[in-house]
Amino acid sequence: MNRLPAPFLAGLRHRLFWPCVTLALLCLVNFYFNRGFFDIEIKNGALYGSVIDILNRAAPLMLVAMGMTLVIATRGIDISVGATVAISGAVVASMIGGSLVIQNGVQSYVSNVPMPLAILGALAVALLCGLWNGLLVAGAGMQPIIATLILMVAGRGIAQLITAGQIVTVYYEPFFFIGNGFLLGIPVSLYIVAVVLIALLLLIHRTALGLFIQAVGINPVAARFSGISARALVFWVYAFCAVTAGIAAMIITSNVKSADGNNAGLLLELDAILAVTLGGTSLAGGRFSIVGSLIGALIIQTLTYAIYSLGVPPEINMVVKALVVFAVCLIQSDALRAMLARHVLRTGEAA
């Protein structure tokens, strides 16, 4: 075999190698069918282009995937994020509401509740959802799937209750800035993702928190014996995950300018879990990669974009996603690797 330079081999073995390759391949597929894929132009002082569009649309998923990564790293799972998005979207939309008032020929927007207060309120409600999940998982010791299933079932009902079964439309211009606005030419949602990402990375790499989370994921009992308060950690991880869902809800609600208790964040939990697994974090807990999950979220969004731009009916999207899920599962499977290794050994011996 040819000798490859050492840094290259190290890169090949890096955890993020395969997610990055997948993303690059998808981008190339997009480029092949749409030569303008990488073009970015400036219109009205804002950047426009397919890449920017993908980044912008992936923002809610990236946020939720970050929270989900921590949950999965502690051997948990949170399938209630979609419902949390619906609830906190409903809260913010009904608190802002808003109407266009024309006074002396000057248009001005009036909200029911001051916008910062409404956003804080909605995030607090999201936090409450997370605390509830954390209480059930860490406090009562329920299986994470089931504990979060409860909120997933009841959550959409609660969201409907808040919006009184209606789709609440927001008429308040400043609120739209979150999901549609541009700051220095870059979508505002990306700044939000960047702030959360930097805060999270600092917390994980500059403090022992990341190590603790890994320890709990690898062996909760051993982690407890080594002095980590595993329960408190798991509790706050669920709270954090719900808050990221709450922030995502702000972007989603602002982007579509309304809150729909039935459809806001529908199947978001599944996409988030998929993004985390695509990013190389094992569902069995332990080692995790926040950046990997972001790449996973981008892979999903790029895949969706590719499906649209190929002119394939968007309905096929689900089938493709399913095949991706199966493929990722099989790649991560130790049993398959062992099987392949045996096969390779056998053919090696034969030769």
Pick out residues in 296-315 that bind other proteins (CB under 8 A).
313, 315
Is residue 152 near other proteins by the rule CB under 8 A? yes
- How far does Cα 220 stand from its chain's mean position? 25
Choices 52-60, 184-192, 228-236, 320-328 (CB under 8 A): range interacting with other proteins: 320-328
Under the binding rule (CB under 8 A), the answer on residue 143 touching other proteins is yes
Distance (Å, whole) CA 171 – CA 257: 8
Among 202, 329, 340, 341, binds other proteins (CB under 8 A): 329
**CB closer to other proteins out of 9 and 338:** 338
Q: Are 288 and 72 in contact (CB under 8 A)?
A: yes
Q: Which is nearer to other proteins, 11 or 157 (CB)?
A: 157
Residue 87 or 178: which CB sits closer to other proteins?
A: 87
Binding part of the chain for other proteins, among 38-46, 101-109, 187-195, 324-332 by CB under 8 A, reads 324-332
Residue 279 DSSP SS3:
coil
Tell me if 322 contacts other proteins by CB under 8 A.
yes
Please answer whether residues 265 and 252 qualify as being in contact, where contact means their C-beta atoms are separated by less than 8 angstroms: yes
Q: Which of 11, 114, 157, 174 binds other proteins (CB under 8 A)?
A: 157
In the range 249-288, which residues lie near other proteins by CB under 8 A?
261, 270, 273, 277, 283-284
**Angle between the 81-96 and 144-163 helix axes, to the nearest 10 degrees?**
20
Tokens of 83: 């419902």
User: b/e for 322-337, b at 16 or more Cβ within 10 A?
Assistant: eebeeebeeeeeeeee
Helix (H, G, I), strand (E, B) or coil at 186: strand
Q: Min. distance of Cβ 332 from other proteins in angstroms?
A: 8
Can residue 149 be called a binding residue for other proteins (CB under 8 A)?
yes
**Of residues 198, 232, 319, 341, which one binds other proteins by CB under 8 A?**
319
Nearer Cβ to other proteins (105/141): 141
Q: How far apart are CA 113 and CA 97, in angstroms?
A: 8
Nearest C-alpha neighbor of 198 from the set 15, 66, 71: 66
Q: Does 214 bind other proteins (CB under 8 A)?
A: no
Q: Which string of DSSP letters, residue by residue, matches 7-34?
A: HHHHHHHSTTHHHHHHHHHHHHHHHHH-
User: Using CB under 8 A as the criterion, which residues of the chain lie in contact with other proteins when the complex forms?
Assistant: 77, 136, 140-143, 145-147, 149-158, 160-161, 165, 261, 270, 273, 277, 283-284, 313, 315-323, 325-326, 329-330, 333-336
